[in-house]
Amino acid sequence: MRTVKPLDRRGFLRHSAALSAAVTLGPLGAASRVALSGAAKVKVGLIGCGSVSRHYFAHLARSPLVELASACDILPERARQAADRHKIPHHYPHIDEMLAGAPFDLFVNLTDMQEHERLNEQALQAGKHVWSEKPIANSLAAGQRLLELAREKGVRLWGAPTAVQSPQFAFMARTLAEGKLGRLAAAHASYGHLGPNWAAFFYTKGGGSLPDLGVYNLTTLTGLLGPARAVVAMTGIVTPTRKITGKGEVTVTAEDNAMILMDHGHGVLSHIQSGFNYFTPHEHSSTQQDHHTLTIIGTRGSMSLAGYDWAPHAVDLATREQSRFQRHADARSDYVWENGASLVAECLATGREPLFTPEHALHVVEIMTAANESQRTGQRIPMRSTFKWPLFEDRG
């Protein structure tokens, strides 16, 4: 029988030659600067001018390295309005016209979750770099094909979320690496609200609370504890129909209530839960909420994240030496969840690498599809994918 070693400080540090306090973007990588369409700025074409696009457009517009080149939506009025509001010179009602139209470098995909894979593939085929909202593909195999296509075409592919770029994530990763929690044992994270009412895709096949909400906790916990080796899950539907603005009543066919157990190896287990039926006394959209949404426990300490991992504002840490919770990483920072497209534009322009990788995003896609399979079959599902971990800026 194989001996299972506990994940201790030395084991953790072996993976990480150099630790850095400042984790924003990595140093100039081997990938270095990639070919852009000529100008100093990265030209962005954004598809899907719905709810989330308002946050993205505002963030992109503030970046000195970005030029907004075109907007596209199958609801043409939305693309036109976005173009008017943000002074974007071109707008299109279809991806074919967008790709054949005004040139751009980076395709930003903010469409329905079920559309991402198909549209990302089309953009990669056209030689565009891609930033995609989650998920970047509907399955691990399809996502790996997209990554292969990106390599063939000499372009890059990345997907949301960017939670591993926050200073609170950096503090937690560093605290684990320094062994302050002792031998790690368990972690838990939770994220839910009462569900969106503006689009039906959240509730139909390919949608659900996992790819919309659970994806953040899965990214954060695998980012902190390492890739999952196996997954067991249960999912359910609590609310069978939903009223959607402009559509009336739709039948819910994707889970709206999910719980996943992950085995990270070395005896370390974690649990995440997500759902569209969660009353919360905390304002969902506010970054001021102070409740603990994620906790990691070891033999010498425990730490909890205050606020959601997509809008974190502090980490509370208690150890054997300091057994009352002390607050850390609570300084104001410019981290916001909608920074992904701007960050990858910066990477394309400068050659710097972010901490989030497409391999990590695809590992999370595999966990989410495995969760559905585990619910269907009652089985524990082994994971095939992995990603480079731990997530530190490597200055070696």
Ligand X SMILES: NC(=O)c1ccc[n+]([C@@H]2O[C@H](COP(=O)([O-])OP(=O)(O)OC[C@H]3O[C@@H](n4cnc5c(N)ncnc54)[C@H](O)[C@@H]3O)[C@@H](O)[C@H]2O)c1
CB 177, min distance to ligand X, A: 29
CB 138, min distance to ligand X, A: 12
75 binds ligand X (CB under 6 A): yes
Report 43-72 residues binding ligand X (CB under 6 A): 47-52, 72
- Tell me the sheet residues that pair with 306: 292, 314
Which residue's beta carbon is nearest to the bound ligand X?
50
- The residue among 19 and 244 lying less far from ligand X, judged by its C-beta, is 244
88 binds ligand X (CB under 6 A): no
Question: Which range touches ligand X (CB under 6 A), out of 62-70, 106-114, 218-226, 243-251?
Answer: 106-114
CB 366, min distance to ligand X, A: 18
172 binds ligand X (CB under 6 A): no
182 binds ligand X (CB under 6 A): no
Question: Which range touches ligand X (CB under 6 A), out of 81-89, 112-120, 168-176, 225-233?
Answer: 112-120
- The residue among 131 and 171 lying less far from ligand X, judged by its C-beta, is 131
112 binds ligand X (CB under 6 A): yes
Return the structure tokens found at 145: 């094909």
The amino acid present at 293, given as its one-letter code, is T
Binding mask 185-224 for ligand X (x = CB under 6 A): -------------xx------------x------------
The full 3-state SS of the chain, as one line of letters, equals CCCCCCCCHHHHHHCCCCCCCCCCEEEECCCCCCCCCCCCCEEEEEECCCCCHHHHHHHHHHCCCEEEEEEECCCHHHHHHHHHHHCCCEEECCHHHHHHCCCCCEEEECCCHHHHHHHHHHHHHCCCEEEECCCCCCCHHHHHHHHHHHHHHCCCEEECCCHHHCHHHHHHHHHHHCCCCCCEEEEEEEEECCCCCCCHHHHCCCCCHHHHHHHHHHHHHHHHHCCCCEEEEEEECCCCEEEECCCEEEECCCCCEEEEEEECCCCCEEEEEEECCCCCCCCCCCCCCCCEEEEEEECCEEEEEEECCCCCCEEEEEECCCCCCEEECCCCCCCCHHHHHHHHHHHHHHCEEECCCHHHHHHHHHHHHHHHHHHHHCCCEECCCCCCCCCCCCCC
106 binds ligand X (CB under 6 A): no
Binding mask 127-166 for ligand X (x = CB under 6 A): ------xx--------------------------------
Question: Which range touches ligand X (CB under 6 A), out of 57-65, 109-117, 183-191, 343-351?
Answer: 109-117
113 binds ligand X (CB under 6 A): yes
110 binds ligand X (CB under 6 A): yes
Please pick, from the candidates 74, 141, 237, 269, the single residue that binds ligand X as defined by CB under 6 A: 74
Question: Which range touches ligand X (CB under 6 A), out of 108-116, 180-188, 258-266, 323-331?
Answer: 108-116
- Chain residues binding ligand X by CB under 6 A are 47-52, 72-75, 78, 95, 110-113, 115, 119, 133-134, 198-199, 212
